[in-house]
Structure 1
């Protein structure tokens, strides 16, 4: 039987890079988890074990750390582009490179009403993400940058309904015109053009996601995602499309009637059920 190697890539996953900026008495911090992936003329490494064209993943790791110093003064997107272009432009067998970056945010500790210059507390669980893909060399080279939000946990206590849905013999879900709506949004988007400021663009996307979720009276999580996508495209004209993934983090009203108590649960105490969960996905494109 004849086999064909139809696709391949290799790289170094989850390099955790912490960069401290000491240019002034007030230090700054940038916390990145960087994954690199190379594509190119590496067939012999798979077919015969010939490593002569393979740039070791350990070298990719080292380069990611050094570039955090050399190209760490701009945005995360600037860093990702510089790193990916280095691999493609400077390493002959590499024809394409992808750099994925996950950003961990930190906020300053406040002591006696003032922000401390050298101490932070980790925010979370939300992360900003950046993906850079560089393909080709010279004039034929293309550079694509994508952004994202991972695990944006958000909840509102009212302003959400779910009723008039399709039923069959296995349906037990009760209709409701007032429910908790909670999710952990993963969003990724692609740019058709470079925005004037990457950080401003990210802030505008996040504000559109959070603001739409909060203010839209939702008849379904599907409807919410559609409106979020439109709000993002309106907020940042350089974004071409956005994909959203949202698990429905169900909250069920806890039944007090089973107990010998005169307490009434008037929409106040809920059981947060982490699984199974509805998983809603949508992509909105201009």
Structure 2
């Protein structure tokens, strides 16, 4: 797990918090626990060396700026998945999930230690990520997926609190129906969900001579390079780099801009306004969720 993603360190943190707070008087258990942690440390030390040397690839791809809107979007993504666009009234569905989760936290608590572990496992990593993301954002829905089982247990506990089996059955059918519709939409529209990078890169290969090529947003170079295979040189472009990179061009110099994921990276449309005000558009080709100018 630790070799898979750096955020799994939060799981180890939670486990240690739980053991220290619930078993601090059990010296025999603590001794065994400390030995186990040292064994983990020994096995993970090669990767720790790589991280300390800053030789890791970009691990925060897709990080979102923390705001109430991004948190609401993340909650919908967790509950409705990639096929969430099929639902018109997402707010109503979200309210149902929030209501069930809150009920799942309420007393009576039959198994207090288990619930304590659950709360640590679910809330400590997410709250820490939110706090750490007040500067440079590390928060992303896909990265918290390792903690979603805790949320689902909480949701299940909320459903179990209802006394009438007919109501429980109705809730289960409703939730499973939501998941079915989401998954059905997702698997029925895979071709529409994925950007056609193969076709876009082929167009670039056929039309770019010696002009500079810029890719917006920065991490979109990954799928581009998968098909490019080093054939065309390019630079990444972000909102903060518009003037520094594009104003360095010579007078009358032609260049290409490949735009993808601008709805996330540039919701205010600053890039397009900048290009329209400073440069002359010579050619434009549009693919699904990719624009080449």
> TM-score category by the smaller chain?
under 0.3
Larger % of strand: which? 1
Larger helix fraction of residues: 2
The TM-score normalised by the length of structure 2 is 0.22
Where relative contact order (Cα < 8 A, 6+ residues apart) is larger, the structure is: 2
